[in-house]
């Protein structure tokens, strides 16, 4: 057996560069690169190894460990989990900064390889700078925080251990059911230790997407359930996109005349103007989709986690005789909510359901009811997103929905909108009209403030040919904005629409909706201390972007035209109203106090009890 002497870090980099995947019939590198912030825990070993492999495995510098990981996650999500990135940091705070991103990836089932530096295995210089000491267990380091938010975790304490650990890591990153973050802790002494590795370890390997087939008994039962349906409804989740099953879903719905609603992760699988499309479902959904969900007797969920926002805290599927049929590649998800499971790849499952249903079609009366609800919703859409120079709001500033209408009117079908947290995901889910697959990129499993700008850069890296429009509130922007500078430095232009409602408008709405008074959320309402007037456009320009502030919706549309023509990242800031929101007709369970001195809180609690009555238990 031929061998080659390499450090552990050199061997790891060489192995990662040798992994390839098939995408649309083309063999491409599995890893598009490595985001890195170097420190004493990774610069000497891994940094030196990456330097010599820049062509095969490019290295990108981030400004914050969490945000660079967000960019990597967004890249993988935008690539339908077929391609991905690795991220590396030093030990201590650099590593723990990435734990939030690991949790985000874990919740959303997105592949990313974390390579945090770690303390010396030898323990000779202990305690080293940034080391977390555990008096009862010297093997514990800060990186143990990654364990509950990793799909696979290992600490490499010997250079030869990567021979067994790396293949498991790759398998996990590509596994349709168990996909998610992998953490390989790399102690700084082990990174630099040499070992005689077999050359066969570095042979190029091509990986292909697996498509698990359905159990024939489950398939037959699913077909029988659907054939009996009088009021069927499809709920499209993110699994439709990750399986690249959008075409199969559209064909399935059209053949059988079944209305299709979409989750946040599944939005964009069906064009908004398709005859079967009924819009967004759940707490952030439309009255059209939620109204149909309440009456449906069979709900076919495809590739969804069935999160509380999708199910209205288990109140949206209100028909007491409803059957929830769940097509999902993950056994854990397929069994949720007492579902009838159909465990299989979404593309394969939809193809075989289509064949088994033959000429079945939903009753004409149900299809007409769906069309009528969509017509009503479209009228509401036009009203809520209309261009106006006098918004009907408390502040006189436009609503989020009106801003989204302006962004959409000035855009193109190929645009990709990116968002994550605040009120914006609600109005985007309701009102953003998606024409093309992967035109909607929301991180709403973890709803992580600060994902937006870094995520937008990651999406642009995955789709450089499409315009990427990041919509972000001032609260999220203040939490994490540094990768705006990275987008300029790396030449990945994004358009950022920054909605300034003077604080945390989303939670202020929830606070008021729960009977509370505005407190500690808005800078101008119930917040102690001075209220800064932040010039966000000047801040963005200071990081190298082009930026401007606009005063109204018409100016916003004009500015977006200039942004599209620009060659570098462009930020447009507009003041918005923090109080008015849209309604989609679904309930959400939150913890409203049972005892309060405020009558408004007691009234909200009484309404809360009415919502609880709709839950099955």
Query: Under 8 Å CB-to-CB from 288, ≥6 apart: which residues?
Result: 278, 279, 370, 373, 374, 376, 377
Q: φ, ψ for residue 599 (rounded to 5)?
A: -60, -30
Euclidean distance between CA atoms 485 and 466, whole angstroms: 20
Euclidean distance between CA atoms 360 and 47, whole angstroms: 59
- What percentage of residues in the chain have a pLDDT greater than 90? 94
The average confidence (pLDDT) of the chain is 96
Q: Output the pLDDT for position 396.
A: 94
* Mean pLDDT in residue range 77-103: 97
Place 206 in a pLDDT band, splitting at 50, 70 and 90: very high
> 229-269, pLDDT tens digit by residue?
999 999 999 999 999 999 999 999 999 999 999 999 999 99
Q: Are 373 and 288 in contact (CB under 8 A)?
A: yes
Euclidean distance between CA atoms 384 and 428, whole angstroms: 12
Q: φ, ψ for residue 352 (rounded to 5)?
A: -75, -30
Place 529 in a pLDDT band, splitting at 50, 70 and 90: confident
Q: Domain-by-domain residue ranges, the chain?
A: 3-207, 216-377, 385-575
CATH match of 216-377 with 3.40.50.1220: yes
- Exposure string for 284-299, b = 16+ CB within 10 A, e = fewer: bbbbbbbbbbbbbbbb
- Exposure string for 513-529, b = 16+ CB within 10 A, e = fewer: ebbbebeebbbebebee
Q: φ, ψ for residue 517 (rounded to 5)?
A: -95, 150
pLDDT at 398 over 90: yes
- What percentage of residues in the chain have a pLDDT greater than 70? 100
**DSSP-assigned beta bridge partners for residue 588:** none
Q: φ, ψ for residue 608 (rounded to 5)?
A: -60, -40
Assign a CATH topology to domain 3-207. Rossmann fold (3.40.50)
Which of helix, strand or coil describes residue 23? Answer: strand
Assign a CATH topology to domain 385-575. Rossmann fold (3.40.50)
Q: Output the pLDDT for position 532.
A: 86
Euclidean distance between CA atoms 446 and 264, whole angstroms: 12
Query: Under 8 Å CB-to-CB from 272, ≥6 apart: which residues?
Result: 279, 433, 434, 435
* Least reliable range by pLDDT among 315-319, 452-456, 508-512: 508-512
> 108-122, pLDDT tens digit by residue?
999 999 999 999 999
Would you give the distance in Å from CA 446 to the centre of its chain? Answer: 8
pLDDT at 523 over 90: no
Q: Output the pLDDT for position 48.
A: 97
| Burial class, 383, CB count within 10 angstroms (exposed 0-12 / middle 13-18 / buried 19+) | exposed
* Mean pLDDT in residue range 406-419: 97
Q: Output the pLDDT for position 522.
A: 87
> 583-615, pLDDT tens digit by residue?
888 999 999 999 999 999 999 999 998 989 999
Place 497 in a pLDDT band, splitting at 50, 70 and 90: very high
pTM (2 decimals)?
0.97
* Mean pLDDT in residue range 6-20: 98
For the chain, state the CA radius of gyration: 25
Euclidean distance between CA atoms 324 and 548, whole angstroms: 49
pLDDT at 139 over 80: yes
Q: CA angle, 542 as apex, 539 and 546 as ends, to 5°?
A: 85
Q: Do strands 205-207 and 19-23 pair parallel, antiparallel, or not at all (unpaired)?
A: parallel
* 3-207 and 385-575, same CATH topology: yes
**DSSP-assigned beta bridge partners for residue 196:** 5
Place 203 in a pLDDT band, splitting at 50, 70 and 90: very high
Q: Output the pLDDT for position 528.
A: 72
| Burial class, 246, CB count within 10 angstroms (exposed 0-12 / middle 13-18 / buried 19+) | buried
> 320-353, pLDDT tens digit by residue?
999 999 999 999 999 999 999 999 999 999 999 9
* Mean pLDDT in residue range 493-516: 93
Euclidean distance between CA atoms 564 and 553, whole angstroms: 17
Q: Phi-psi region for residue 170, left (φ > 0), alpha (ψ -120 to 50) or beta?
A: alpha
Euclidean distance between CA atoms 349 and 189, whole angstroms: 48
**In terms of Cα–Cα distance, which of 193, 184, 188, 190 is closest to 164?**
184
């Amino acid at each position: 057996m031929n061998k080659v002497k390499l450090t552990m870090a050199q061997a790891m980099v060489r192995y990662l560069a040798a992994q390839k995947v098939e995408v649309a019939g083309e063999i491409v590198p599995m890893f598009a690169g490595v985001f890195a912030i170097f420190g004493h825990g990774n610069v000497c070993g891994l940094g030196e190894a990456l330097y010599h492999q820049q062509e095969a495995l490019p290295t990108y510098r981030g400004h914050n460990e969490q945000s660079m990981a967000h960019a990597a996650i967004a890249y993988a999500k935008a690539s339908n989990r077929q391609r991905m990135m690795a991220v590396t940091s030093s030990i201590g705070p650099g590593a723990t900064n990435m734990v939030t991103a690991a949790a985000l990836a874990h919740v959303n089932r997105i592949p990313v390889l974390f390579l945090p530096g770690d303390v010396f295995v030898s323990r000779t210089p202990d305690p080293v700078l940034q080391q977390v000491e555990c008096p009862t267990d010297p093997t514990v380091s800060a990186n143990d925080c990654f364990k509950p938010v990793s799909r696979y975790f290992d600490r490499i304490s010997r250079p030869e251990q990567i021979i067994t650990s790396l293949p498991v890591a790759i398998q996990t990153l590509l596994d349709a059911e168990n996909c998610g973050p992998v953490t390989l802790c790399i102690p700084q002494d082990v990174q630099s230790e040499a070992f005689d590795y077999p050359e066969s370890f570095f042979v190029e390997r091509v990986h292909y997407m697996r498509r698990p087939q359905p159990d024939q008994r489950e398939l037959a039962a699913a077909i029988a359930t659907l054939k009996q349906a009088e009021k069927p409804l499809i709920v499209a989740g993110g699994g439709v996109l990750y399986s690249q099953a959008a075409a199969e879903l559209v064909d399935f719905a059209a053949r059988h005349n079944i209305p299709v609603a979409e989750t946040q992760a599944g939005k964009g699988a069906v064009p908004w103007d398709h005859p079967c499309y009924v819009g967004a479902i759940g707490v952030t959904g439309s009255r059209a989709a939620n109204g149909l969900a309440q009456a449906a007797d069979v709900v076919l969920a495809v590739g969804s986690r069935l999160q509380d926002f999708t199910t209205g805290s288990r109140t949206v599927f209100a028909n007491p005789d409803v059957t929830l049929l769940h097509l999902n590649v993950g056994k854990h998800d397929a069994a949720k909510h007492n579902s009838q499971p159909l465990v299989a790849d979404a593309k394969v499952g939809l193809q075989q359901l289509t064949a088994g249903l033959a000429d079945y079609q939903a009753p004409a009366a149900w299809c007409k009811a769906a069309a009528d609800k969509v017509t009503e919703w479209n009228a509401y859409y036009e009203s809520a997103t209309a261009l106006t120079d006098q918004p009907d709001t408390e502040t006189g500033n436009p609503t989020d929905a009106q801003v989204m209408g302006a962004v959409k009117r000035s855009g193109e079908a190929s645009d990709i909108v990116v968002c994550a947290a605040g009120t914006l995901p609600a109005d985007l889910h309701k009102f953003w009209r998606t024409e093309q697959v992967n035109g909607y990129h929301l991180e709403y499993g973890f709803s992580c403030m600060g994902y937006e700008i870094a995520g937008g850069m990651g999406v642009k890296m995955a789709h450089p040919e499409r315009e990427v429009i990041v919509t972000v509130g001032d609260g999220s922007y203040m939490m994490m904005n540094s990768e705006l500078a990275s987008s300029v430095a790396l030449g990945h232009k994004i358009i950022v629409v920054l909605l300034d409602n003077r604080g945390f408008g989303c939670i202020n709405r929830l606070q008021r909706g729960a009977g509370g008074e505005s407190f500690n959320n808005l800078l101008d309402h119930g917040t102690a201390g001075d209220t800064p007037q932040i010039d966000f456009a000047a801040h963005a320009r200071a990081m190298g972007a082009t930026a401007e502030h606009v005063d109204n919706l018409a100016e916003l549309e004009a500015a977006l035209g200039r942004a599209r023509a620009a060659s570098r990242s462009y930020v447009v800031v507009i003041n918005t109203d923090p109080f008015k929101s849209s309604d989609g007709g679904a309930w959400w369970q939150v913890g409203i106090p049972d005892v309060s001195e405020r009558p408004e809180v007691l009234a909200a609690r009484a309404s809360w009890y009415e919502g609880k009555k709709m839950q099955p238990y």
